[in-house]
Amino acid sequence: MDIKALWNLTYGVYVISTIDLDNGGRATGCIANSAMQVTYDTVAVSINHENYTNQCIKKSKKFAISILGQNADDNIIPVFGFQSGREVDKFRGIETKNINGLSVIADSTGYIICDVDDILETETHTVFLGKINDCGRLKDEPVMTYEYYHRVKKGKSPKTAPTYIEETPEHTELAYKCTVCGYVYKGDLTKEPDDYLCPICKQPKSVFVKL
- pLDDT tens sequence across 67-103: 999 888 878 888 898 888 888 899 988 999 999 999 9
* Distance set, CA 144 to CA 13, 14, 64, 153, 155 (Å): 6, 9, 17, 10, 12
% the chain with pLDDT above 70:
83
Asked if residue 155 has pLDDT above 60, the reply is no
Asked if residue 168 has pLDDT above 70, the reply is no
pLDDT computed for residue 144 by the predictor? 83
| Of residues 111, 13, 106, 6, the one with CA closest to residue 63 | 111
Q: How long is the chain?
A: 211
Q: Which has more pLDDT, 160 or 101? A: 101
| Of residues 175, 186, 181, 158, the one with CA closest to residue 209 | 175
pLDDT computed for residue 29 by the predictor? 96
